[in-house]
Structure 1
Amino acid sequence: MARETWATRIGFILAAVGSAVGLGNIWRFPFQTGQEGGAAFLLVYLLFVVAIGFPAILVEFVIGRRTNLNAVGSLRELGGGAWRYVGWLFVVTGFVILSYYSVVAGWFARYLVVGVTDGFTVTTEAEAAELFGIVSTGLDSLVFHAIFMALVIGIVAMGVRRGIELAVKVMVPAIILFLIGLAAYGTTLDGAGAAYAYYLSPDFGVVVDNWTSLLPAAAGQAFFTLSLGMGVMITYASYLGEDRNLATDAGVIVFLDTAIAVLVGFVVFPFIFAAGTDPGQIAVGAIFFSLTQAFATLPFGTLLGIVFFGVVTIAALSSAISILEVLVSYLIDEHPIDRLPATLGAGGAIFLLGVPVTLDLVFLDLLDGLADGVLLVLGALILVVFVGWVIPDVGLSELGQGITSVDPWDDIWLWMVRLPIVIVLVVALALGALDYLEFLRVDFAAWLGS
Structure 2
Amino acid sequence: MSSVDIPREAWATRIGFIFAAVGSAVGLGNIWRFPFQVGQEGGAAFLVIYLVFIVAVGFPAMLVEFVVGRYTERNPVGALRELGSGAWQYVGWIFIATGFVILSYYSVVAGWTIRYTILGLQDGYLADAGEAEAQFVTLASGLDAIVLHAIFMAAVILIVGMGIQRGIELAVKVLVPAIIVITVGLAIYAATLEGAGDAYAYYLSPEWSVIAENWTSILPAAAGQAFFTLSLGMGVMITYASYLGENRNLAEDGAIVIGLDTAIAFVTGLIVFPILFTAGVDPADPGAGAIFVSLAAAFGDLTFGWLIGAVFFATVAIAALSSAISLMEVVVSYAIDERNLDRMTAAALIGGGMFLLGIPSAYDLVLLDLFDLFADQILLVLGGLLLMILVGWSLSSLAIDELGRGIGDLGSYGTAWIWAVRIPVVLVLFVALVLGVLDYAEFLTGPFSEWLADR
Whether these two folds match at TM > 0.5 is yes
Counterparts of 1:93-132 in structure 2 under 5 Å?
93-120=98-125, 122-132=126-136
1:357 aligns with: 361
Matches within 5 A, 1:13-162: 13-120=18-125, 122-162=126-166
**Equivalent pair of 1:242/1:401 in contact (CA under 8 Å):** no
User: Deviation string for 1:181-218 (max 9, x for gaps)?
Assistant: 00000011121100000000000000111111110000
Q: Which residue of 1 aligns with 2:347?
A: 343
1:11 aligns with 2:16: yes
Distance 1:348 1:426 in 2: 34
Contact 2:281 / 2:298 at 8 angstroms: preserved in 1? no
> Does structure 1 residue 332 correspond to structure 2 residue 332?
no
Instruction: Quote how far apart the aligned CAs of 1:249 are.
Output: 0.5
Given candidates 426, 437, 442, the residue that maps to 1:422 is 426
2:167 is matched with 163
Counterparts of 1:37-436 in structure 2, within 5 Å, are 37-120=42-125, 122-436=126-440
**TM-score normalised over the length of structure 2:** 0.97
Amino acid in structure 2 at the alignment position of 1:9 = R
CA distance in 2, matches of 1:411, 1:276: 50
Distance in 2 (CA, whole Å) between partners of 1:397 and 1:441 is: 47
The answer to whether the Cα contact below 8 Å between 2:285 and 2:294 also exists between their aligned partners in 1 is no
- Aligned residues, how many? 449
Ranges in structure 2 where 5+ consecutive residues have no aligned partner: 1-5
CA distance in 1, matches of 2:386, 2:28: 25
SS at match of 1:404: coil
Q: Does 1:443 align with 2:447?
A: yes
Q: What amino acid is the match of 2:220? A: P
Q: 1:106 Cα deviation (Å)?
A: 0.3
RMSD: 1.0
1:134/1:140 contact within 8 Å kept:
no
For the 8 Å contact 2:91–2:387, the answer to whether it is kept is no
Alpha-carbon displacement from aligned partner over 1:168-193 (angstroms, at most 9, x marks no partner): 00000100110000000001112110
Partner Cα distance (2:89, 2:425) in 1: 23
Name the aligned partner's letter for residue 64 of structure 2.
Answer: V
**Aligned partner letter, 1:17:** V
For structure 1, the residue ranges without an aligned partner over 5 or more in a row are: none
Is the partner of 1:280 in helix, strand or coil? coil
Alpha-carbon offset, residue 305 of structure 1: 1.1
State whether residues 369 and 436 of structure 1, in contact with CA within 8 Å, keep that contact through their aligned partners in structure 2: yes
**Cα drift, residue 282 of structure 1:** 4.4
Counterpart secondary structure, 1:230: coil
Quick check: 1:124–1:293 contact (8 Å CA) kept in 2?
yes
> 2-side partners of 1:160 and 1:8: how far apart?
11
The worse-fitting range, judged by mean Cα deviation, of 349-358 and 415-424 is 415-424
Q: Assess if the C-alpha contact under 8 Å between 2:75 and 2:333 holds in 1.
A: yes
CA contact (8 A) 2:392 2:422 kept: yes
- What one-letter code is carried by the residue in structure 1 that aligns with 2:36? F
1:12-65 C-alpha deviation (Å, 9 max, x unpaired): 011000000100000000000000000000000000000000000000000000
- The answer on whether the counterparts of 1:65 and 1:234 sit within 8 Å (CA) in structure 2 is yes
Letter in 2 for 1:24: G
C-alpha contact (below 8 Å) 1:275/1:290 kept by paired residues: no
Which secondary structure state, in structure 2, belongs to the residue aligned with residue 239 of structure 1?
Answer: coil
Distance in 2 (alpha carbons) for counterparts of 1:406 and 1:124: 58
Identity of aligned residues (%): 63
Q: Report the secondary structure of 1:281's partner residue.
A: coil
For 1:406 and 1:54, locate their aligned partners in 2 and report how far apart those are by CA, in whole Å. 16
Distance in 1 of aligned mates of 2:210 and 2:423: 27
Does the 8 A contact of 2:77 with 2:92 survive in 1? Answer: yes
2: distance between equivalents of 1:67 and 1:405? 21
Letter of the structure 2 residue corresponding to residue 433 of structure 1: V
1:388-428: per-residue Cα shift (whole Å, max 9, x none)? 11211110110010113444311100111111211111111
Partners of 2:221 and 2:444 lie apart in 1 by 17
Return the alpha-carbon distance in structure 2 between the equivalents of residues 87 and 284 of structure 1.
28
| Contact 1:65 1:242 (C-alpha < 8 Å) held by counterparts | no
Structure-2 separation of matches of 1:387 and 1:354: 33
Distance in 1 between residues matched to 2:394 and 2:445, nearest whole Å = 37
Shift in alpha-carbon separation, 1:130–1:443, aligned structure 2, 3 A? closer
